[in-house]
């Protein structure tokens, strides 16, 4: 057993490692991005009806299509490129400006498409201001170059500011939203916080990361879009299997049913997003390691894959066992139908954490983007196949919840199978003489 002095020395060494520090800073960003909105949801569930919660959740899920369009996979591709090229300031600057211009173009395109679809659809048209307000999250995502800070491993300088901006937004919701008619104000405050955080982080980028704003030829933007295309297809497929399910639910189920689902989904997502800081902190490090020492990177994964996922197994068990207590405390007695949905989703955080070891840390870090994309596309096909089997035979909310858990299990199994077969094949190949 470690003595107090040895434990203190171990913690000091761990905090001195840039990857550990970045993971802790990213938890601050993740809390501001997902946990604060979840706290807001827990408050709003007592102020607004399940119908209004369902309407806000439907609009936010619909807008997520355009978040995916604007991100375009740059959070993975640009992060990896910057991590590899971070010793070359000119190259980093070129990547930064090309990606920002590409994301700006995609943001404008997304807003035009959103408004066209909303005004062309009678059921959506009456709530067009809600969709416009929700689109501010897309603008905030464009302005916040998290991929730059991750690739440069300098998340600490923006984490506190992002955390503060969204903490203030949460406080404003609690202070200002008091009645059912304030649901538009609630949506606007939450979306506006992402814009403020984005503006702050973008303004700090030249100081912290040494980049400078400049207009590049459009051919450079085209190169960035072409390089991100395979990952974008995969991310679009992921959105198709998450947001589309919620959007379809919004069309076929009563708004209250959507509200029950949104409550369980947001809680599970808040836990799932605790995985992201570890992934985003380690991904640049492992990408760099894979380019320099593939054997060392593989050894790291073999040793730590389950260790990194183990805490989320414990959390998943708690979610399953304590679902009735959690739902009653957070949402109230009127959300009783949420309990079953939460139990079905409970183990998705663990499945996600473990699958990242073989998908992100191995397949993407080692350059197997096409094979990773294939798994995502297979998941999309499986999603709609299961929907055809389940959606019209059991309650839609239960069907979508079961499908989500099955897809997590499929992604883990497929990525692990690729990792195991590929590494086994490489180890069995004799070295050249």
Q: Which pLDDT score, from 0 to 100, does residue 280 have?
A: 67
Q: Are the CB atoms for 290 and 415 separated by under 8 Å? A: no
The C-alpha atoms of residue 334 and residue 15 are separated, in whole angstroms, by 44
* Nearest to 242, CA basis, from 403, 67, 410, 35: 403
The structure tokens listed for 337 are 């139908």
pLDDT for the residue 15? 44
Both structure tokens of 352: 């996600």
Show pLDDT as tens, one digit a residue, over the chain (433 residues): 444 454 345 445 544 455 555 555 555 565 666 677 778 878 888 888 888 888 888 888 788 889 888 888 787 788 878 888 888 888 889 999 999 999 999 999 999 999 999 999 888 888 899 999 999 999 998 998 888 887 887 766 666 677 777 788 888 888 998 888 888 998 888 888 888 888 888 998 898 888 899 888 888 888 888 877 777 776 676 666 666 777 778 777 777 888 888 889 888 887 887 777 677 667 777 777 777 777 777 887 788 788 888 889 999 999 999 999 999 988 888 889 999 999 999 999 999 989 888 888 888 778 787 888 888 888 888 988 898 888 778 888 899 899 989 999 999 999 999 988 888 766 555 443 4
Number of helices (H), then strands (E), belonging to the chain: the values are 21, 0
How far apart CA 93 and CA 14 sit, in angstroms, is: 31
Q: In this predicted structure, what is the pLDDT of residue 98?
A: 92
> What torsion, rounded to 10 degrees, do the Cα atoms 225, 139, 113, 253 define?
120
Give, to the nearest 10 degrees, the angle between helix 218-252 and helix 74-85: 150
Each domain of the chain, given as residue ranges in start order, spans: 17-427
Q: Write down the pLDDT at residue 142.
A: 92
Which pLDDT belongs to residue 432? 39
Contact 357, 301 (CB under 8 A): yes
* SS3 category, 346: coil
pLDDT for the residue numbered 11 = 41
Give the model's pLDDT for residue 47: 87
Report the SS3 class of residue 21. Answer: helix
Work out the angle at residue 300's Cα, subtended by the Cα atoms of residues 295 and 305, and round it to the nearest 5 degrees: 130
Distances (CA, A) of 265 to 14, 32, 138, 178, 250: 33, 17, 20, 24, 14
What is residue 134's predicted lDDT score, i.e. its pLDDT?
Answer: 92
Confidence at residue 4, expressed as pLDDT on a 0 to 100 scale: 47
């Amino acid at each position: 057993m470690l003595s107090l002095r040895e434990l203190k020395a171990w913690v000091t060494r761990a905090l001195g490692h840039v990857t550990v520090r970045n993971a802790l800073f990213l938890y601050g960003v993740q809390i501001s991005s997902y946990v604060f909105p979840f706290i807001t949801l827990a408050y709003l569930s007592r102020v607004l009806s399940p119908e209004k919660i369902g309407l806000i959740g439907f609009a936010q899920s619909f807008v997520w299509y355009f978040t995916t369009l604007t991100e375009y996979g740059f959070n993975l591709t640009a992060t990896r490129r910057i991590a590899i090229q971070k010793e070359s300031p000119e190259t980093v600057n070129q990547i930064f400006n090309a990606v920002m211009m590409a994301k700006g173009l995609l943001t404008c395109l997304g807003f035009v498409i959103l408004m066209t679809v909303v005004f062309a659809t009678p059921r959506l048209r009456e709530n067009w201001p809600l969709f416009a307000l929700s689109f501010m999250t897309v603008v905030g995502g464009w302005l916040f170059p998290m991929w730059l800070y991750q690739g440069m491993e300098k998340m600490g300088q923006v984490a506190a500011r992002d955390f503060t901006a969204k903490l203030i937004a949460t406080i404003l919701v609690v202070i200002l939203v008091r009645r059912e008619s304030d649901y538009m104000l609630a949506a606007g405050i939450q979306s506006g916080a992402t814009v403020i955080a984005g503006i702050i982080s973008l303004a700090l980028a030249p100081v912290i990361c040494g980049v400078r704003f400049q207009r590049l030829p459009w051919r450079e933007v085209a190169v960035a879009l072409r390089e991100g295309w395979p990952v974008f297809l995969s991310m679009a497929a992921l959105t198709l299997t998450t947001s589309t399910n919620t959007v379809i639910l919004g069309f076929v189920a009563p708004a209250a049913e959507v509200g029950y689902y949104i409550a369980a989904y947001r809680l599970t997502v808040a836990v799932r997003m605790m995985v992201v800081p570890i992934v985003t902190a380690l991904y640049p490090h492992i990408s760099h390691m894979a380019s320099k020492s593939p054997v060392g990177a593989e050894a790291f994964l073999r040793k730590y894959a389950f260790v990194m996922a183990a805490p989320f197994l414990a959390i998943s068990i708690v979610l399953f066992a304590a679902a009735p207590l959690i739902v009653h405390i957070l949402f109230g007695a009127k959300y009783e139908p949420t309990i079953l949905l939460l139990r079905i989703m409970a183990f998705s955080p663990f499945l996600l954490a473990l699958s990242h070891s073989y998908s992100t840390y191995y397949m993407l870090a080692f350059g197997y983007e096409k094979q990773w994309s294939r798994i995502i596309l297979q998941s999309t096909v499986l999603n709609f196949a299961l929907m055809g089997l389940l959606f019209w035979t059991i309650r839609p909310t239960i069907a979508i919840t079961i499908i989500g858990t099955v897809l997590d299990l499929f992604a883990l199994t497929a990525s692990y199978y690729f990792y195991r077969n590929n590494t086994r094949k490489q180890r069995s190949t004799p070295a050249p003489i």
